[in-house]
């Protein structure tokens, strides 16, 4: 029986075969959806700070690989207005993070979305599309304008509305607390008072959110129940990725991320230092760099745990994967984040994950592949990570069972599984709207 292939128009501002984060989300979902439907994707020619980088990467990829599903890639150049805003952003932010100043970034992104809408309208005059999907960026702050077209619309995965407990404010300091307060106020204004977002929610045939917190907030305000879909996934693992602890007397623990306050590496350092057995039994590998590196190294010296900490620094992804294969388990201490691609990557390398029970992590990690720590206050987080590490350090059977569970969970959370879910949802939306049209006639 021939499976119906729909014509899908996707907006994916971030799209790069060699990138991580949202670029990986866009690329891995779009290229796999081609197995099921006819895909046309609008994407930015490059990021705001590197205006041709995405198009260059995609051309390079297809110079070495085929496009088996004949996906149509249409690059949209950053407008002159966006380029001007981006230059101003670079000056103000001094490239201190990937997007620089958030206000200027989203202003430039808003302008690009306007351009994408004009091109999409023209495409719809010459081609018939069954569904439009706004895929990336994943933030709820800018859903674009393609929803205005008279075609069933899908939005997500999206989110970014979660808050941290007030009990963490003292721990993160005045500046970070002020940023959190401002972020929460802006989120409330943008989500609650932005008429365009309300219209998008009303128009959407399906909304994906990447966390239970976002799902609840969307439902509570709009009355529409979104579907949970993570903003990260994994490549299907192979049996060689299964890591069985090689030395029952020494456990290799991996932490990977940017050395900034939100990632909360110090929670892990305090957890290890709080128990003599952990200081003797654990080797903590730290992959990443950031402005708090020297501060954290001084903390290790103060806590007298230098002998069990290995500072690896910033390395490329293949090296990270090699380190994962040589590790026993993964710790992820962020107090606010989406899912984190490093979470699903760790699972695919057979690493159980210890993390906070928040955001996308609360969905991705279950009792079969890791341990989740409630986000209540810093003291309880430190104690929770300590107890989880002790449990797995002293119970090799439990650790090995979680390692096998990590492999199984990564198969459930693969890009292939995600694409299949989305492709099936497209068909359901199409059938629903087709039946509505028949009833109207």
Q: What share of the chain is helix, strand, coil (3-state, %, to 5)?
A: 55, 15, 30
Whether residues 176 and 295 fall in one domain: no
Cis peptide before 288 (omega within 30 of 0): no
The confidence band for 151, taking pLDDT boundaries of 50, 70 and 90, is very high
Average pLDDT over residues 358-377: 92
Predicted pLDDT at 171: 85
Whether residues 124 and 261 fall in one domain: no
In a domain, 2, yes or no: no
The CATH number given to whatever domain includes residue 339 is: 3.40.50.2000
In a domain, 420, yes or no: yes
At 20-36, the pLDDT tens digits run 788 888 999 999 999 99
Q: Is the pLDDT of residue 333 over 50?
A: yes
Between 386 and 140, whose confidence is greater?
386
Whether residues 207 and 262 fall in one domain: no
Cβ 354 vs Cβ 371: under 8 Å: yes
Residue tagged 């995600």 (tokens): 418
- Residue 337 CA to residue 16 CA, distance in Å, equals 21
Structure-token pair, residue 432 = 């629903």
Predicted pLDDT at 160: 83
Share of the chain above pLDDT 70, in %: 93
Average pLDDT over residues 197-202: 88
Whether residues 202 and 259 fall in one domain: no
Cβ 57 vs Cβ 44: under 8 Å: no
Structure-token pair, residue 225 = 């129940």
Whether residues 222 and 187 fall in one domain: yes
Predicted pLDDT at 1: 40
At 334-344, the pLDDT tens digits run 988 766 788 99
Q: Is the pLDDT of residue 105 over 90?
A: no
Q: Is 297 left (phi over 0), alpha (psi -120 to 50) or beta?
A: alpha
Domain count, the chain: 2
Whether residues 291 and 173 fall in one domain: no
The confidence band for 245, taking pLDDT boundaries of 50, 70 and 90, is very low
Q: Is the pLDDT of residue 80 over 50?
A: yes
Whether residues 72 and 131 fall in one domain: yes
Instruction: Give every CB contact of residue 100 below 8 A, 6+ residues apart in sequence.
Output: 48, 49, 89, 90, 92, 93
Whether residues 133 and 229 fall in one domain: yes
Whether residues 257 and 189 fall in one domain: no
Whether residues 256 and 346 fall in one domain: yes
The CATH number given to whatever domain includes residue 109 is: 3.40.50.11720
What does the mean pLDDT of the chain come to? 88
Whether residues 419 and 275 fall in one domain: no
Share of the chain above pLDDT 90, in %: 56
Per DSSP, the residues of 13-53 read S---TT--HHHHHHHHHHHHHTTTSEEEEEEESS-SSSTTH
Structure-token pair, residue 412 = 């459930």
- Residue 398 CA to residue 149 CA, distance in Å, equals 53
Predicted pLDDT at 138: 85
Q: How far apart are the first and last CA of the chain?
A: 29
In a domain, 436, yes or no: yes
Q: 238-247, 337-346, 361-370: which range is least confident on average?
A: 238-247
In a domain, 1, yes or no: no
Q: What is the pTM of this model?
A: 0.87
Give the range of the structural domain holding residue 249, as residue numbers without chain letter. 239-412
In a domain, 89, yes or no: yes
Whether residues 302 and 360 fall in one domain: yes
């Amino acid at each position: 029986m021939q499976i119906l292939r729909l014509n899908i128009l996707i907006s994916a501002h971030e799209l790069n075969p060699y990138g991580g984060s949202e670029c990986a989300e866009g690329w891995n979902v779009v290229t796999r959806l081609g197995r099921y439907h006819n895909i046309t994707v609008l994407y930015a020619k490059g990021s705001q700070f590197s205006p041709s980088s995405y198009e260059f990467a995609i051309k390079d990829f297809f110079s070495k690989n085929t496009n088996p599903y004949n996906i149509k890639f249409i690059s949209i150049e950053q407008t002159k207005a966006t380029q001007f805003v981006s230059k101003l952003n670079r000056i103000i932010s001094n490239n201190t993070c990937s997007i620089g100043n958030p206000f200027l970034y989203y202003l430039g992104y808003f302008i690009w979305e306007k351009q994408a809408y004009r091109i999409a309208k023209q495409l719809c005059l010459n081609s018939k599309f069954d569904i439009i999907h706004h895929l990336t960026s994943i933030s709820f702050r800018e859903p674009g304008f393609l929803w205005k077209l008279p075609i069933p619309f899908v939005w997500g995965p999206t989110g970014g509305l979660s808050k941290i407990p007030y009990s963490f404010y003292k721990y993160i300091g005045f500046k970070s607390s002020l940023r959190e307060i401002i972020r929460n106020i802006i989120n409330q204004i943008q989500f609650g008072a932005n008429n365009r977002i309300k219209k998008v929610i009303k128009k959407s045939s399906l909304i994906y959110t990447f966390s239970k917190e976002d799902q609840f907030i969307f439902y509570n305000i709009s009355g529409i129940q979104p579907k949970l879909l993570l903003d990260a996934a994994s490549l299907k693992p192979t049996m060689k990725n299964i890591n069985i602890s090689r030395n029952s007397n020494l456990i290799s623990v991996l932490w990977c991320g940017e050395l900034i306050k939100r990632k909360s590496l110090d929670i892990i350092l305090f957890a290890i230092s709080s128990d003599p057995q952990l200081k003797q039994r654990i080797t903590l590998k730290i992959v990443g760099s950031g402005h708090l590196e020297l501060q954290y190294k001084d903390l290790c010296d103060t806590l007298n745990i230098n002998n069990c900490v290995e500072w690896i620094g910033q390395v490329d992804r293949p090296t990270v994967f090699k380190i994962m294969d040589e590790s026993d388990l993964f710790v992820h201490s962020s107090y606010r984040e989406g899912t984190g691609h490093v979470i699903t990557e760790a699972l695919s390398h057979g690493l159980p994950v210890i993390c906070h029970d928040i955001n996308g992590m609360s969905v991705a990690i279950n009792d079969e592949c890791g341990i989740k720590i409630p986000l209540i206050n810093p003291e309880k987080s430190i104690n929770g990570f300590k107890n989880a590490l002790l449990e797995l350090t002293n119970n090799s059977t439990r650790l090995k069972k979680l390692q096998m569970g990590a492999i199984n969970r990564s198969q459930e959370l693969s890009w292939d599984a995600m694409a299949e879910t989305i492709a099936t949802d497209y068909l359901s939306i199409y059938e629903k709207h087709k039946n509505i049209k028949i009833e109207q006639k």
